[in-house]
Chain A
Amino acid sequence: MRSWVAQMRKGLIELCVLGVLRDGEAYGYQLLQRLGEADGLSISESTVYPILARLAEDGMIKVRVAPSPTGPPRRYYRLTTLGQDRLKEMLTYWKDIRLAVEKFHKGEQA
C-alpha cells in the first residue's frame, strides 16, 4: 500500500509544483511550504528540489536569483510559456483520469 501511495504521489507532485507556480513566482522553500500545506501530499525537499531542477532544465520554469534578507540568495521560480502549456496539458490529462477513476467508483462515493 505504501509503495502504491508513493508512486501515485510522485506522479502528481510535478503537476502540483506547476500548479503552485501558476499563481506566481516562489522560491524553493516557499514552494515546499505551500505544497506542505496540502494534506495528503506530505512531500519533502528531496522530492521537490530535484523536480524543480529538472523542470528548469526542461525549460518549463525559469529561475531568478535575488538577495534574501535571511541568508543566501533566493532562487525564485516562475512558469515559462512552455511550462504553462505543459500545465494545461497535464491538467487536461489529470481531469480525464480523475473522471475515469470517479466513474468507476461513483457508487462508493455516494
Chain B
Amino acid sequence: MSGNAPEPGTGATRRKEEHLHAVDEALRRAGVSERERRNITGDLRAQIEEMIAARGIAGPTAEEMDSVLAELDPPETFAAAARDNETLDRKSAPLDSPETAPSAVAAASVAVSIWTILSRIYVVLFGIVLPIGTLGFEAATHFCGQQLFDPIPTWWHVALVALVPLMNLAVLVATTRNPPQNGPLLAFGNGVALAVSAFYAIVFLPMVPIGVVAILYVGAGLLPLAPLLAFFAVLLCRSRQKWLDTYRVTYVRGRGWGFLVGILLLLSFSASEMATNHGAQLASSPSSENRTRGLWWIRTFGSKDALLRFCYGNSGEFGPSMILLPFFSGMVTPKDAQTVYYRLTGHAFNTVEPPRSVRPGVWDRSDFLELNPDFRDESVGWRDSRLSLVASRLDGMADSDVGVGYVEWTLTFRNSASWQREAKAEIALPPGGVVSRLTLWVNGEEREAAFAGREQVKEAYERVVSRRQDPVLVNTSGRDRVIMQCFPVPPNGGEMKTRIGITFPLPLDSLSSARCAFPRFIERNFSIPKDVSHAVWYESTGTIDQSPTGLKLAANGNGNTLLTGSVSDTKLCDMKPVVVARHADVVETKLPDIRSTATAMIRQHIQESQTSRPKRVVLVVDESESMGAFLPAIAAAIPSLPAGTEFAMVRARDGADIPAKAQPATAREYQAAAEMLLADTAEGGQDNVPALRQAWDLAGGAEGTIVWIHGPQPLRIQPVDELIQCVERAAAGPVIYEMQVAPGRNFVVNELERTYGLTGIPSKGNPAEDLKQFFSSWSTPVKSWAYQREKVDTVGDAASTTGTRTNAHLARLWAYDKVMEMIRNRNSKTRQVTEPANQPIIDLAANYQLVTPVTGAVVLENQAQYREAGLKAVDASSVPTIPEPETWAMIIVAVIVLGVAVVRKHRQWKLA
C-alpha cells in the first residue's frame, strides 16, 4: 500500500454507516417504529451495496462511497416520506377515511417509546441485575447446591452463567450506540446466552410454581424464577438486536453458531460424566475383562470428580446428563461407584474432600459425616485445614531392664469451621504396643474410658455422637495401629482435648540394648500448623545412646535419662527408635499382677532363639497404586530368601498369573520373580482377598509361611468369608507375616487379625531394610531375644526389686499376649461351633483395660450415658500414669529446698 493512497474499506464503511444512521435518526424523529426503521435502513443498505457492486468496485474508497451516497435521497427526505405515509394510510384506516390526526401519530410514537423503555427496564432488572445477584448468592452460599443440586459445580459453569447477564448488558449498550458496534460478536454471544438461559430455565421450571407462591405469600422467592426471567430477557435482547441484522446477514448466522456453541458447551460439561457413568458400569462387572475395559474408559474419557459424585449418589454434574442419564443408560449405584473409585485410584472415596453438593452449608452447623451417616466408617477421611491440632505432648517412660515402656499422648484439637467436626486419626503404636488408657476432658475435668467389646463401645460412641455430645473412641485398625475419633470438636474455634496411654514392650537388639519407638500419626483428618510441634518428655531407666534430631538428652538426678524437646510432626513420623542400654544380667523379672488376685504375679524372662528357615514361602504382593514406590524394594529383597526353599509369588492384581504350586527356588527363580515385580505397574486399588486365598492353598498348611506385603484396602470388594472360613476351619494353618507400607485402613488385616492373628515383620523403622533383613534371617540364622511372660501364683515369692513402677504395664503386656494367643487358639478350639467364643477374651482385655482386636475404649460424657450403654468407666486409681513434669520439678525443688535447709541447720549446729 502506498502511503498517500486512500485506504479502502474503513473510511467508506464509516461514511455508509453515518448515512444510514442519519436516515435512522430522521425516521426516529418522525416517530417511525424501530421495526420499520430497521426494515427501511436494511433495504437502503442493500441498495448501497448493489450500487457499489454495479460499479464494479470491490472495496470502495471513501470518495467512491461519497459518490454513491450522493445519488441517494438525503436522510431528511425519508422523514418527510414517512410522515406522508402516516397521513396517507395508517393501519386499518379505510382508504376513504379522513386523514389520521397528528395526535394519533404522536400517540403511536409515545406507545413505541414506552414499550422500548419497559423492555429496557425488564432487561436491566431481570436480564442483568437478578442473574448476577442470583449467581453471586449461589456462589457464596451454595444454597441450591446443598438443597437440590449444584447448578454451578465448576468455574466453567459460573463463567457460562455469567455470560447471560454480560451479553444482555452488551446488547443493551450496543443497541443504543450510534452506530451500533461489535454486531457479529454480540450476535454470537446472544446465541450462547440463549442456549444457556434456555437450559437453565427448563431445569428450574419445576421450581417456578414454588417461586410464584413464595412471592405471593411471603413476598420473596425470586431466585427460583431467575433462570426463566433471564431467558425472557435474552429473548428481548435478541429482538432488540435483530435490527442489527439489517447490517449483516452474518449476524443471523452468528447467533445460530452461538446457540450451537452454547449447546455444545453444555453437552461437553456432561460428556466426561456420561463417559464416567458408562465406564463405572463396565468396571462394576464381575468379568475381569470388562472391569479392565471400564477402568480404561474412565481413565481415558471420564473424570474422577464425576465418579466421586456418583459415590455419594449425587445425580451428577449440572448439565444435560442430569436429564439424559436417568432416561438412557441409568446411573451407576453409589456402592458400585465406591468400589470402582477404589479400583481406579487406590484409595477410598471418603479419603478425599467430598463434592461441594454434599458438604454442610454455611448455615449448617452439623458434621459432614452426620449428614451422611452411611459413610461413617473407620476411614480417617479427608483433611480439613480448619480442623487443627493446637497442642500435643508425649510423656513417656522406658524401663529397659524390664523391657516395658509407657507413653501418654495428649492432643488438643481446634475447629475454626462453622460446623462441628470429628477429629480422626490413625496412629501407629510402638511395635507390640497396646492402648491401655484413654481420657477426655469434659468441662475441664479429665474423664476415664470404659473398655469393653469392640462393637459395644462403637455402638455407645455412635449413640452419643447422634446427640452431639462428647465421646472419644479408640479401636484397633490393624497390627500396632489404632483409630482414634472424637466428636464433636465445637465449631468457631472450639477445642477438644484427649489423652491416649500406650503400653509397649522394648524389643531387644541384644541382652544389653533395647529399642524404644515413638507413636506417630499415620493418617489424620486435621491439619498441624507449622508452629505446632510435639513436646516430648521421655524418662528412661537406661542410658540412651543418641538423641534423635531436635531432642536433647539430660540426666534427671535420679540416675535416669531424660529425652526432651519439641519436634515437628514430620520429624516425629521419621523418627527412628532410640537405643536404650539395659543390664544384660537382668533376664528375669517378677512383678505383682495388679489386676488379678493378691498372690498372682507376672513372671517375664528373656528367651534366646535362632531364626529357623521355613519349608515353603508364599509371597503375596499387593500391586495397588499406593505400593508403587515400594515394589522395587520388595524386588530387591526377594534374592535374600534362602535358596532351596519352596517359593511362590502371588501378585494381587486383576489378571495376574497364578502359580500352580510352590517350587524349590534358586537364585535364578528369585531373580525372575523380582524382575516380574519390577515390570509390573502398580495402579488403582487391588483386591488382596483372592490373592491371599490362593496363597493359603499354596502354603499348604503349617509348614508354609505367607509373607504379605500390602498397602491399604479400605473396601470389601469381594466377600472375605471364604478366606476366613479357610483360616477358621484349617487344622493347622501357615504363619501369616504381614507388613503394611502405605498408610490407610485395611479391612482384610482387621478381619484376619480378629479371627486368626497376624504376625508382624520385625521393624526397625525402615520397611525396605526390615524386609531384606527378615528374608536374610532365614538364609543365615541369627540370634534373637524375646520376652516370655506368664502368670504365676507364687505365695510368699519376693517380687523383683527393679521395675516396680512398671508392674501395671508388665501385667498389661502379659494380658495382651494372652488375648492374642486366645484369638489364635480360639479358632482351633471352636472349629466345630458356629459362634466363636469371644466373651472370655473380651473379659480379659477389658479387665486389663486394653484396646485389642476384640475390644475398644470409649469415653462418654456422664455416668448416665455409661449406664445406658451398659459400660463402666475404669477407676481413675487403676490407670497407669506418668509423673507430670510439674511433679518432677516440684520434687526436685523440694529436694533442693530440703537439702539447703539441712545444710544450713547443720552449719548452725556446728557454729553453735
Interface residues of A (CB under 8 A from B): 10-11, 14, 27-29, 32, 44-47, 49-54, 56-58, 63, 65, 67-68, 70-75, 89-90, 93
Residues A63 and B39 in contact in the complex (CB < 8 Å), given A46-B78, A72-B249: yes
Q: Which of B5-42 contact A (CB under 8 A)?
A: 27, 32-33, 35-37, 39-40, 42
Identify which of B47, B88, B245 contacts A10 (C-beta below 8 A): B88
Our pick among A50, A58, A68, A73 for the contact of B40 (Cβ within 8 Å) is: A50
- A50-B82 in contact (CB<8A): yes
Which 3 pairs show the lowest CB-CB distances between chains A and B?
A71-B49, A28-B43, A73-B249
Give complex CA distance A71, B252 in Å: 15
**For A44, what are the chain B residues with a Cβ–Cβ distance below 8 Å?**
72-73, 77
Q: Which residues of B contact A (CB under 8 A)?
A: 27, 32-33, 35-37, 39-40, 42-47, 49-53, 72-74, 77-78, 80-82, 84-85, 88-89, 91, 95, 245-249, 252
Within 8 Å by CB of A67, from B40, B89, B249, lies: B249
Q: Is the CB of B49 within 8 A of A53?
A: no
Assess whether B248 is in contact with A72, with CB atoms less than 8 Å apart. yes
Is B46 touching A74 in the complex (CB atoms < 8 A)? yes
Minimum distance in angstroms from B482 CB to a CB of chain A: 77
Quick one: which of A11, A57, A70, A72 contacts B36, CB cutoff 8 A?
Answer: A57
CB distance from A85 to the nearest CB of B (A): 12
B52 touches A71 (CB 8 A): yes
Is there contact, CB below 8 Å, between A54 and B85? yes
User: Given B40, B51, B245, which contacts A65 in the complex, CB threshold below 8 Å?
Assistant: B245
Whether A65 contacts B252 in the complex (CB less than 8 A), given A29-B50, A70-B50, comes out as yes
What residues of chain B lie closer than 8 Å to A63, measured between beta carbons? 39
Closest CB in chain B relative to A59 CB, distance in Å: 10
How many angstroms between the C-alpha atoms of A94 and B360 in the bound complex?
A: 80
Q: Return the chain A residue nearest B47 by Cβ.
A: A29
Q: Please pick, from B36, B73, B77, B95, the residue contacting A53 in the complex, using a CB distance under 8 A.
A: B36
Asked if A29 and B46 sit within 8 Å, CB to CB, the answer is yes
Q: Which residues of A contact B49 (CB under 8 A)?
A: 68, 70-72
* B81 CB contact (under 8 Å) in A47, A57, A65: A47
The answer to whether A71 touches B42 (Cβ under 8 A) is: no
CB-defined contacts of A47 to chain B, threshold 8 Å: 81
CA distance A45 to B51 in the complex (A): 13
Q: How far is the CA of A77 from the CA of B554 in the complex (A)?
A: 104
Residues of A within 8 A of B53 (CB): 70-71
| B43/A52 in contact, CB under 8 A | yes
A71 to B89, CA, bound (A): 33
CA distance A68 to B54 in the complex (A): 13
**Smallest Cβ-Cβ distance to B23: which chain A residue:** A46
27 A-B pairs within 8 Å (CB atoms) are namely A10-B88, A14-B88, A14-B89, A27-B46, A28-B44, A28-B46, A44-B77, A45-B43, A45-B72, A46-B72, A46-B73, A46-B81, A49-B44, A50-B27, A50-B40, A50-B81, A50-B82, A53-B40, A54-B89, A56-B36, A57-B35, A68-B46, A68-B49, A68-B50, A70-B50, A75-B43, A75-B46
What residues of chain A lie closer than 8 Å to B248, measured between beta carbons? 72-73
Once the chains are docked, how many angstroms separate the CA of A31 from the CA of B196? 41
Most chain B beta carbons < 10 A, residue from A47, A51, A54, A70? A54
